[in-house]
Structure 1
Amino acid sequence: MRVEIWSDIACPWCYVGKARFEKALAGFAHRDAVEVVHRSFELDPNRAEDDVEPVLTLLTRRYGMSQEQAEAGEDRLGAQAAAEGLDYRARGRDHGSTFAMHRLLHFAKEQGRQSELLDALYRANFAEDRSVYAEGAERLVELAAAAGLDAGAARAVLADPDAYADAVRADEREAAELGATGVPFFVLDRAYGVSGAQPVEVFAQALEQAWGERAPLLRPVGQDEAQACGPDGCAVPQN
């Protein structure tokens, strides 16, 4: 069974939702038969790479919040993250373009290190003091290396603005076709969609339901007793 997760590094609910989904998956009896694929979704796709601003400023400007409301919202998010065992820095974070990070995640997928890089990017964005936006490509190269990727190869990807750009845009188009207007967005075997950072119990239920209702690879047609050959030989005509 395949689970596809559309998310953005700048999305705090994606950070929390990934942890909740993984708890559900850890308790799923068929977890070793589940392939998890992370797909790209930018919350701010038109933001320039050098356009970086504090998260609290973004909240007050975009959503018309007061400073106190923005701070209270960040505190509540921090409590939700803490409940899942995640660190969360509610003050001093910034916001910027995530396009380069998504390109790097597609490279990491080819190397079998996608989930590790995503975790490293989430930790850096939500829990660490240093910025994943303001410090430029070398900060991302450092995180890629920490996730087990070759630093030189990661640097080459980031230096080429076209590298994996089409893959990012294809993911985003597909999200729109599936009706996703926000993230996280989980798609189970292209049969079930789960929106948002749902409780662990909801993800567990979705996994069980999707597994139980999977269509067989082939649907039998005809008679079960029709002549055929097998490990014990071939059926001999009786008439």
Structure 2
Amino acid sequence: MRVEIWSDIACPWCYVGKARFEKALDAFAHRDDVEVVHRSFELDPGRARDDVQPVLAMLTKKYGMSEAQAQAGEENLGTQAAAEGLEYRTRDRDHGSTFDMHRLLHLAKDRGRQDELIGVFYRANFAEERSVFDDDERLVELSVAAGLDAGEARAVLADPAAYADEVRADEREAAELGANGVPFFVLDRKYGVSGAQPAEVFAQALEQAWAAHSPLKLIQQDDAEECGPDGCAVPQQH
């Protein structure tokens, strides 16, 4: 069974939602038979690479809230993250373009290290002091920490076209599926879960998707006559 997760590194609810989903997945009886694929979704598409600003400034400008309201929202997110065992810096974080990080995540997918890299990116953005924006060497260091080759990561960052089509394709597909926000979870292309739902909701969705995905189980195992590609067996007369 495949679970696809559309998310953005700049999205705090994606950070929290990933932890809640993984809690449900770890307890799922068929965990080893579930493939998780991370898909690209930019909350701020088209943002210039060098346009980096404090999170609070972005929130007050984008949503028209006061700085006190924005800070209160960050404190709430910190509480939600802590409940999932996650570190979260509620002050002095940056916001910027995540396009290059999404391109690197597609490289990581090709190398079988996608889940590792998105986890490293989330921790770096939400829990660590050093910014992840507008700093290629920072992204290279994080890529290496996730098991990628430094030279390959630098080559992707040096070529604006590398994996750009893959990122845009993911974003188009999200729109076609009706995803207006993230995180957005799609289970076997049959069921969708929107938002950082409680682990119990994800557990229910996994069970429901697995039931629909699973092959038929035979309830009669005794040998019996049947027809196949080579014809029909004719019982021998005794």
Q: Which category describes the TM-score, using the shorter chain as reference length?
A: over 0.9
The amino acid across from 1:143 in the alignment is L
Per the TM alignment, residue 214 of structure 1 is displaced from its structure 2 partner at its CA by 2.0
Aligned to 2:17: 17
The amino acid across from 2:204 in the alignment is Q
Tell me the distance in 2 between the aligned counterparts of 1:88 and 1:35.
Answer: 28
Aligned to 1:78: 78
The amino acid across from 1:175 in the alignment is A
The answer to whether residue 99 in structure 2 is matched with residue 99 in structure 1 is yes
Q: Describe how 1:207-226 pairs up with structure 2 within 5 A.
A: 207-214=206-213, 216=215, 225-226=225-226
User: In 1, are the aligned partners of 2:12 and 2:77 still within 8 Å (CA)?
Assistant: yes
Aligned to 2:180: 181
Per the TM alignment, residue 64 of structure 1 is displaced from its structure 2 partner at its CA by 0.9
Tell me the distance in 1 between the aligned counterparts of 2:112 and 2:124.
Answer: 20
Tell me the distance in 2 between the aligned counterparts of 1:51 and 1:154.
Answer: 22
The amino acid across from 1:190 in the alignment is R
Tell me the distance in 2 between the aligned counterparts of 1:89 and 1:23.
Answer: 22
Aligned to 1:60: 60
Tell me the distance in 2 between the aligned counterparts of 1:115 and 1:199.
Answer: 20
Tell me the distance in 2 between the aligned counterparts of 1:75 and 1:26.
Answer: 28
Aligned to 1:150: 149
Taking structure 1 as the reference length, the TM-score comes to 0.92
Per the TM alignment, residue 226 of structure 1 is displaced from its structure 2 partner at its CA by 3.7
Q: Secondary structure at the match of 2:185?
A: strand
Which structure 1 segments of 5+ residues have no match? 218-223
Paired-residue identity, %: 77
Greater Cα offset, 205-214 or 72-81: 205-214
Taking structure 2 as the reference length, the TM-score comes to 0.92
After superposition, the Cα gap between the structure-2 partners of 1:179 and 1:225, relative to the gap in structure 1 and judged at 3 Å, is farther
Tell me the distance in 2 between the aligned counterparts of 1:238 and 1:195.
Answer: 60
Tell me the distance in 2 between the aligned counterparts of 1:69 and 1:225.
Answer: 73
The amino acid across from 1:193 in the alignment is G
- Over aligned residue pairs, what C-alpha RMSD do you find? 1.9
Tell me the distance in 1 between the aligned counterparts of 2:234 and 2:57.
Answer: 80
Tell me the distance in 1 between the aligned counterparts of 2:229 and 2:45.
Answer: 57
Per the TM alignment, residue 213 of structure 1 is displaced from its structure 2 partner at its CA by 1.8
Tell me the distance in 2 between the aligned counterparts of 1:194 and 1:128.
Answer: 29
Q: Secondary structure at the match of 1:187?
A: strand
Tell me the distance in 2 between the aligned counterparts of 1:225 and 1:190.
Answer: 37
Tell me the distance in 2 between the aligned counterparts of 1:201 and 1:227.
Answer: 45
Tell me the distance in 2 between the aligned counterparts of 1:199 and 1:159.
Answer: 39
Tell me the distance in 1 between the aligned counterparts of 2:128 and 2:228.
Answer: 63
Count of equivalent residues:
230
User: In 2, are the aligned partners of 1:229 and 1:235 still within 8 Å (CA)?
Assistant: no
Q: Secondary structure at the match of 1:70?
A: helix
Aligned to 1:196: 195
The amino acid across from 1:16 in the alignment is V
User: In 1, are the aligned partners of 2:225 and 2:233 still within 8 Å (CA)?
Assistant: no
Tell me the distance in 2 between the aligned counterparts of 1:64 and 1:227.
Answer: 70
